[in-house]
């Protein structure tokens, strides 16, 4: 759950536990039972709040200590302690920063650390026991958060601080934390009467439950999913590593003698397998089976997310109505960069008008290519044909095989190249930590970020990397989260503040035993994207925890740093440095590099329309569906179908729905905010244009622009509004021209 003043997981050592409990005098039996339960909860909480350190990097969770048996008693004890401390503060809240805001941040840090670790483990080490433990504490946690967010005494004290003479003496970050905290309490219903507050709490409780169930259904359906193949002819073209994993899965399922060469093969229906089969599998029936299974995620009878989608949308609209917003989309945009729903639709229209003619040409060219290749399906292509023939067209036009390119992108080499870019641009180095730290899986790695290049350089941040797919326990996709914020309240060892720690998670194809992990171009791009998020967290200069890193950064600006980072993949000298053949060690040849860079906008028109389909569906659902008192003229899935039919040009499956597996909307933070990807793409392209203007090979000038980018976008966090920070970097607002040129949707005017 994302809190209103911060994002992510926060760590704080606990010093409250006392062994004096054992010396208490005897009490009556009932009281003894209560005391024993209290002591058990205190011991469990102590277990959950343990932390470790790696040199100056502190407050690292001990992930293995967060076990299902410890969660319920430990969290309940934590909630009781925090509630009592909050009640004491609420009784007479002083309208001062140190007397009001500091204690509140300390309470939030304790909550965010423990509950954040539990939430993270559910996404990467799922078990029914872990989910049951979270389910048991969720209602009381949501209730406490709502009580804190709706406290009129705290709100009045904040308002008094905001309106008093002391406000001018706060630093810029503190002022913004205070202003946004007041606004967030208003959005949380601090002004509601008691009946409305009660309903608000019920809605929040239910939404949290639905979000967890949505994710759990997808994880469990993936764990149970299988596409079983016996005939070797049906797996023709499927990459060897994928066949090896499918044979191992068959062995686990009890198939004796299963092998990658002879089968049988039991494919798990997850992202890596889906892409491999759709792009490379020659058997059309296997592609169809995979397409239907993957696109049907979240619709199996025992894992059906469709009722969750409907209920979630209706509850969000009721929540918005309680807060006097016309619909949930309006509520969502109230604290984002985009000024209105109308402005979002104007961006959609501008991008679609540029992308549609390009997409239609791309579609016609693909059909023409299929006919030239003698494809029987050319006259009636189906959705499971698109990826396969698009891959063949790309090979024919640009002369490289996406799957074979993996042999040049060894994961360790790619990481080295990424870290070299950080050194070149920002004068920082990233290296594997020498000291072992607790991790949640043996494949997780921990890195240190240092200021300077010598051995004695100062460590300024830490980073966990979880790279590989783990079907059945790790949800799909890629994401970044925070583990420790930069915060003066977490400072220790003579430091002004704690060192920030980030994590990012991918679902790359695991390597064969004894082999190095190989990455596709898309996986490399994903790595750069997620590291961009991590940079904004790790490179922050803000020491107020509530505004450091990504905290308080508007949601539609959060993707700026990540999408900016991706542009370096299209710079040929840099791309070359990422490559080394797994056998020879030779980098990619010049001709292939030229073709890769030339192909960067391959099918860009259709890619844009697909993103617009997602954004338009999200925005329309949250502005129109499920409004209280309105007649249901359509289901969410019918609305999705209408938008998709009017937006995309490539073939779709009748009745196909992405909503039951659309985690961004129903178990993430993108509800009525998926447009943020396109909004931030405009910012990112415009930001990268500043580097291109000085010449990407002009190291001295590039470093000057990078220093300005770091000192503003990456360093200032949420201490100022995102549009103000961007103006400090660029000297003006961003416009769409750079993005349309970068993606080949318009031709740049001659200089």
Query: Is 24's pLDDT higher than 70?
Result: no
Cα separation, 418 vs 408, in Å, equals 15
Query: Is 642's pLDDT higher than 90?
Result: yes
CA atoms within 13 A on the CB side of 135: 13
CB atoms within 10 A of CB 121: 22
State pLDDT tens for residues 77-87.
999 999 999 99
Long-range contacts of 513-516 (CB under 8 A, 24+ apart): 515/582, 516/410, 516/411, 516/412, 516/582
pLDDT more than 70, % of the chain: 94
The continuous run of DSSP H or E covering 608 comes out as: helix 604-624
pLDDT more than 90, % of the chain: 88
Q: Give pLDDT, residue 265.
A: 97
Q: Which one has a higher pLDDT value, 152 or 28?
A: 152
Confidence tier at 420 by pLDDT (50, 70, 90): very high
Q: Read off the pLDDT of each residue in 317-339 and give the average, rounded to a whole number.
A: 95
What residue spans in the chain does CATH classification 1.10.1370.40 cover? Answer: 19-149+151-187
Cα separation, 444 vs 505, in Å, equals 9
**In 3-state terms, what secondary structure has residue 571?**
coil
Helix 604-624 crosses helix 676-694 at what angle (to 10 degrees)?
A: 140
What is each CA distance from 83 to 43, 117, 194, 445, in whole angstroms?
18, 20, 19, 36
What residue spans in the chain does CATH classification 1.10.1370.10 cover? Answer: 303-398+604-674
Query: Mean pLDDT in the chain?
Result: 92
Cα separation, 228 vs 12, in Å, equals 48
**In 3-state terms, what secondary structure has residue 460?**
strand
Q: Read off the pLDDT of each residue in 723-739 and give the average, rounded to a whole number.
A: 95
DSSP state of 258: -
Contact residues for 591 (Cβ-Cβ < 8 A; gap 6+)? 399
Q: Give pLDDT, residue 32.
A: 52
Query: Is 651's pLDDT higher than 90?
Result: yes
Q: What is the 3-state secondary structure (H, E, C) of 115-153?
A: HHHHHHHHHHCCCHHHHHHHHHHHHHHHHHHHHHHCCHH
State pLDDT tens for residues 39-63.
889 999 999 999 999 999 999 999 9
Confidence tier at 10 by pLDDT (50, 70, 90): very low
Cα separation, 463 vs 628, in Å, equals 45
Q: Which one has a higher pLDDT value, 38 or 415?
A: 415
State pLDDT tens for residues 368-408.
999 999 999 999 999 999 999 999 999 999 988 888 999 99
Cα separation, 481 vs 7, in Å, equals 8
Query: Is 628's pLDDT higher than 60?
Result: yes
Q: Give pLDDT, residue 654.
A: 86
Relative to beta strand 501-508, strand 458-468 is parallel
Where on the phi/psi map is residue 744: left (φ > 0), alpha (ψ -120 to 50), or beta? left
Which CATH class, in words, describes the domain spanning 19-149+151-187?
Answer: mainly alpha
Q: Give pLDDT, residue 33.
A: 54
Q: Read off the pLDDT of each residue in 239-249 and give the average, rounded to a whole number.
A: 94
Q: Read off the pLDDT of each residue in 660-664 and give the average, rounded to a whole number.
A: 95
Question: Which range is least confidently modeled, 79-88, 341-350, 630-639?
Answer: 630-639
Instruction: Give the closest residue to 205 by CA, choosing from 107, 135, 307, 126.
Output: 135
Q: Give pLDDT, residue 27.
A: 38
Instruction: Look at the domain 303-398+604-674 and name its fold.
Output: 1.10.1370
Q: DSSP for 403-451?
A: HHHGGG-BHHHHHHHHHHHHHHHHSEEEEE-SS----SSTT-EEEEEEE
Q: Read off the pLDDT of each residue in 316-335 and give the average, rounded to a whole number.
A: 96
Greatest alpha-carbon span in the chain: 90
Active site residues per annotation: 530
Query: Is 20's pLDDT higher than 80?
Result: no
Cα separation, 533 vs 561, in Å, equals 6
Cα separation, 179 vs 289, in Å, equals 53
User: b/e for 389-424, b at 16 or more Cβ within 10 A?
Assistant: bbbbbbeeebebebbebbbbbbbebbbebbbebbee
Confidence tier at 131 by pLDDT (50, 70, 90): very high
């Amino acid at each position: 759950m994302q809190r209103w003043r911060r994002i992510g997981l926060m760590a704080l050592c606990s010093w409250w536990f006392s062994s004096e409990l054992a010396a208490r005098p005897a009490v009556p039996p009932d009281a003894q039972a209560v005391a024993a339960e209290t002591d058990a909860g205190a011991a469990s909480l102590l277990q959950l709040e343990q932390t470790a350190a790696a040199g100056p990097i502190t407050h690292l969770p001990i992930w293995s200590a967060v076990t299902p048996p410890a969660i319920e008693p430990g969290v309940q004890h934590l909630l009781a302690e925090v509630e009592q401390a909050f009640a004491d503060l609420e009784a007479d809240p002083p309208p001062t920063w140190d007397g009001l805001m500091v204690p509140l941040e300390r309470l939030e840090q304790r909550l965010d650390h423990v509950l954040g670790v539990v939430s993270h483990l559910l996404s990467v080490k799922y078990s029914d026991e872990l989910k049951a433990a979270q389910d048991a504490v969720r209602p009381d946690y949501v209730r406490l958060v709502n009580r804190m967010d709706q406290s009129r005494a705290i709100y009045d004290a904040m308002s008094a601080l905001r309106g008093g003479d002391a406000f001018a003496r706060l630093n810029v970050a503190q002022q913004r934390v205070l202003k946004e905290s007041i606004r967030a309490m208003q959005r949380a219903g601090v002004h509601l009467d008691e009946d409305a507050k009660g309903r608000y709490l019920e809605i929040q409780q239910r939404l949290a439950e639905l979000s967890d169930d949505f994710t759990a259904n997808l994880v469990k359906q993936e764990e149970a999913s299988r596409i079983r193949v016996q005939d070797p002819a049906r797996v023709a073209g499927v990459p060897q590593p994928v066949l090896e994993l499918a044979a191992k899965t068959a062995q686990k399922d009890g198939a004796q003698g299963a092998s990658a060469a002879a089968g049988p093969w039991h494919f798990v229906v997850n992202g890596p397998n889906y892409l491999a089969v759709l792009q490379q599998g020659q058997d059309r029936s296997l592609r169809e089976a995979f397409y239907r299974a993957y696109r049907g995620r979240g619709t199996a009878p025992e894992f059906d997310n469709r009722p969750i989608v409907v209920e979630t949308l209706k509850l969000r609209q009721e929540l918005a109505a309680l807060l006097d917003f016309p619909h949930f989309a309006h509520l969502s945009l109230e604290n984002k960069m985009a000024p209105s729903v109308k402005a979002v639709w104007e961006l959609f229209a501008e991008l679609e008008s540029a992308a549609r003619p390009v997409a239609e040409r791309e579609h016609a060219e693909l059909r023409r290519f299929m006919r030239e290749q003698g494809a029987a399906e050319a006259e009636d292509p189906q959705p499971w044909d698109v990826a396969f023939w698009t891959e063949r067209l790309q090979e024919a036009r640009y002369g490289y095989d996406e799957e074979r390119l993996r042999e040049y992108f060894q994961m360790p080499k790619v990481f080295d190249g990424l870290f070299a870019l950080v050194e070149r641009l920002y004068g920082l180095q990233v290296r594997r930590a020498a000291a072992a730290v607790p991790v949640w899986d043996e494949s997780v790695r921990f890195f240190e970020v240092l200021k300077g290049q010598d051995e004695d350089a100062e460590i300024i941040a830490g980073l966990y990397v979880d790279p590989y797919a783990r079907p059945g326990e790790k949800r799909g996709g890629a994401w970044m989260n925070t583990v420790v914020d930069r915060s003066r309240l977490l400072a220790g060892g003579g430091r002004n503040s704690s060192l920030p720690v980030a994590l990012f998670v991918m679902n790359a194809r695991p390597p064969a035993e004894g082999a190095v992990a190989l990455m596709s171009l898309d996986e490399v791009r994903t790595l750069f994207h997620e590291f961009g998020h991590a940079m904004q967290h790790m490179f922050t200069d803000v020491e107020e925890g509530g505004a450091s890193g990504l905290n308080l950064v508007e949601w539609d600006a959060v993707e700026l740093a990540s999408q900016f980072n991706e542009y370096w993949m299209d710079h040929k000298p840099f791309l070359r440095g990422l490559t080394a053949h797994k056998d020879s060690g030779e980098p990619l040849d010049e001709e292939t590099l030229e073709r890769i860079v030339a192909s960067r906008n391959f099918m860009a028109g259709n890619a844009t329309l697909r993103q617009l389909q997602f954004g338009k569906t999200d925005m329309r659902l949250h502005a129109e569906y499920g409004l209280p008192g309105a007649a249901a003229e359509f289901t969410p899935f019918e609305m999705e179908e209408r938008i998709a039919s009017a937006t995309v040009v490539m073939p779709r499956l009748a009745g196909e729905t992405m909503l039951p597996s659309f985690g961004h909307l129903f178990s993430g933070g993108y509800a009525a905010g998926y447009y943020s990807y396109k909004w931030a793409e405009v910012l990112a392209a415009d930001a990268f244009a500043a580097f291109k203007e000085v010449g990407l090979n002009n190291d001295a000038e590039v470093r000057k622009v990078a220093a300005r980018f770091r000192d503003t976008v990456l360093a200032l966090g949420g201490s100022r509004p995102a549009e103000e920070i961007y103006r400090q970097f660029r000297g003006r607002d961003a416009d769409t021209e750079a993005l349309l040129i970068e993606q080949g949707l318009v031709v740049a005017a001659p200089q």
